[in-house]
Amino acid sequence: MTLLTTENLKKYFGETRAVDGVTLTINQGEVLSLVGPNGAGKTTLVNLISGLIRPPDAGKILFQDTDVTFMPPQDRIRVGIARSFQIVNLFDQLTALDNIRLAIFSRKGKTKSLLRLAENDREVREEALEILDQFGIEDKRNIVAGGLAQGERKLLDVAVAYALRPTLLLLDEPTSGVSTRDKGKIMDTISGVVRSGQITAAIVEHDMDVVFTYSDRIVVMHQGKVLADGTPDEIRTNEEVTITLLGTSKADWSEYRTH
């Protein structure tokens, strides 16, 4: 079932056609990866879908049959679209637990009650601890976000977006800047949570090992357009894709590196 559709979406910055007529669908329950060279328009597309940039210069965004093209980001969160950022977006002075609690409070529309001791704080705390546990960082609950290792910070950042209980979770480079070993851990965690929570994830990712391992479907962007859309097997051997990303028609992904 289709969860989200973009129709001929466009966003130009002066001469730069960051997103240049993107039509794509995101299906319920899938892990979709969005790949492409630096500057391909991936973040801009996520910004358009999450409402951080709005409105687009042209086109439409439909989420569960509702036109959300002009909706402010907080309303999109309410209807079920949450995102994480390419650079983590945490309160560094707050503990891991409090970062999650804050997301839960904001979801419940009770940020004000943080100032006094909320009567339902116990419930929120329990939910926050459960989320930290799902992401394997429950033992870090009392450490301030600024004091966590990079891989843990990325996990916490995704956990904060997840705490908003979205239907669609958009993740912009959840594994960037972490070791290869931690990448696997982060993606195992994310895909496990996505599958058990029956939510949908659209993930911007550069590491093609990660992309081929964890995606149900891959969308390749290039110069603001969708170059290819298919299963990992289809994308791995797609000649247009290998020429654009690898510079050769030979599908040898072992040497592919960006960033």
Region binding Mg ion by CB under 5 A among candidate stretches 41-49, 73-81, 105-113, 150-158? 41-49
Fill in the amino acid letter for 3.
Answer: L
By CB under 5 A, name the one of 33, 43, 238, 244 that touches Mg ion: 43
Return the closest-CA partner of residue 51 out of 111, 4, 92: 4
Return the closest-CA partner of residue 200 out of 23, 14, 32: 32
Q: How far from 146 is each of 93, 131, 154, 187, CA to CA, in Å?
A: 6, 19, 12, 22
d(CA 86, CA 205): 10
With contact defined as beta carbons under 8 Å apart, do 189 and 155 qualify? yes
Q: Which CB, 43 or 99, lies closer to ligand ATP?
A: 43
With contact defined as beta carbons under 8 Å apart, do 48 and 54 qualify? yes
Q: Which CB, 66 or 258, lies closer to ligand ATP?
A: 258
Contact partner at residue 33 from Mg ion, ligand ATP, none, CB < 5 to 8 Å by partner kind = none
Region binding Mg ion by CB under 5 A among candidate stretches 42-50, 129-137, 187-195, 213-221? 42-50
Q: How far is the CB of 33 from ligand ATP (least distance, A)?
A: 13
Q: How far is the CB of 159 from Mg ion (least distance, A)?
A: 21
Q: Which CB, 18 or 161, lies closer to ligand ATP?
A: 18
With contact defined as beta carbons under 8 Å apart, do 16 and 40 qualify? no
Q: What is the largest CA-CA distance in the chain?
A: 62
Footprint of Mg ion on residues 137-196 (CB under 5 A)?
none
Q: Which CB, 127 or 173, lies closer to Mg ion?
A: 173
Contact partner at residue 18 from ligand ATP, Mg ion, none, CB < 5 to 8 Å by partner kind = ligand ATP
Q: Write out the residues near ligand ATP by the rule CB under 6 A.
A: 13, 16, 18, 36, 38-44, 86
Indicate whether 47 belongs to the interface with Mg ion (CB under 5 A). Answer: no
Q: Which CB, 43 or 69, lies closer to Mg ion?
A: 43
Q: Which CB, 128 or 161, lies closer to ligand ATP?
A: 161
Could you write out the DSSP letters of every residue in 22-66? EEEEEETT-EEEEE-STTSSHHHHHHHHHTSS-S-SEEEEEETTE
Contact partner at residue 77 from ligand ATP, Mg ion, none, CB < 5 to 8 Å by partner kind = none
What is the helix (H) or strand (E) element at residue 10, kind and residue range?
strand 2-13
Q: What is the binding site for Mg ion (CB under 5 A)? A: 43
